[in-house]
Amino acid sequence: MRKSNKEHHPLKAFKEWFKKTGTLNIILIVVGAFFVWFNWQMLSIYREMGTIPETYACAVVAATIGECGICGWIRTTKDKNRERQWEIEDRKEFSGNPEDKEEDDDERDFV
């Protein structure tokens, strides 16, 4: 039997996939797909002309490497902040001092 329209909605499935995959991973997928397309275009130009526009190719490679580097930096920062948050929660859990909570709130302002 066929599912009704309420049960299957492509946009809903895409939103669920997007949330599950994560924004940074989707950006890396898009950058990878762009890079494959770009290389295909450069090979096509090379077959026709015998050379490629070197400056353009270098600029695109630098931009994609830069984008991936920024994504890596964001990911590292998120991981460090998560680890720090876990350490703060562990300290609160094991110490039981209400004064620690105030100190930890002050520390978060500097992050």
Give the structural domain span for 20. Answer: 10-108
Q: Is residue 96 one of the residues assigned to a domain?
A: yes
Q: What is the mean pLDDT of each run of 10 residues along the chain (111 residues)?
A: 63 81 84 91 92 89 88 87 89 71 54 49
Q: Is residue 2 one of the residues assigned to a domain?
A: no
Give me the pLDDT at residue 8, please.
73
Q: Is residue 1 one of the residues assigned to a domain?
A: no
Distance CA 87, CA 17 (A): 31
H helices within the chain, ranges in order?
A: 10-21, 23-49, 54-95, 98-108
Give me the pLDDT at residue 71, please.
85
Q: Is residue 3 one of the residues assigned to a domain?
A: no
Give me the pLDDT at residue 22, please.
81
Number of domains in the chain: 1
pTM (global) more than 0.85: no
Q: Is residue 102 one of the residues assigned to a domain?
A: yes
Q: Is residue 30 one of the residues assigned to a domain?
A: yes
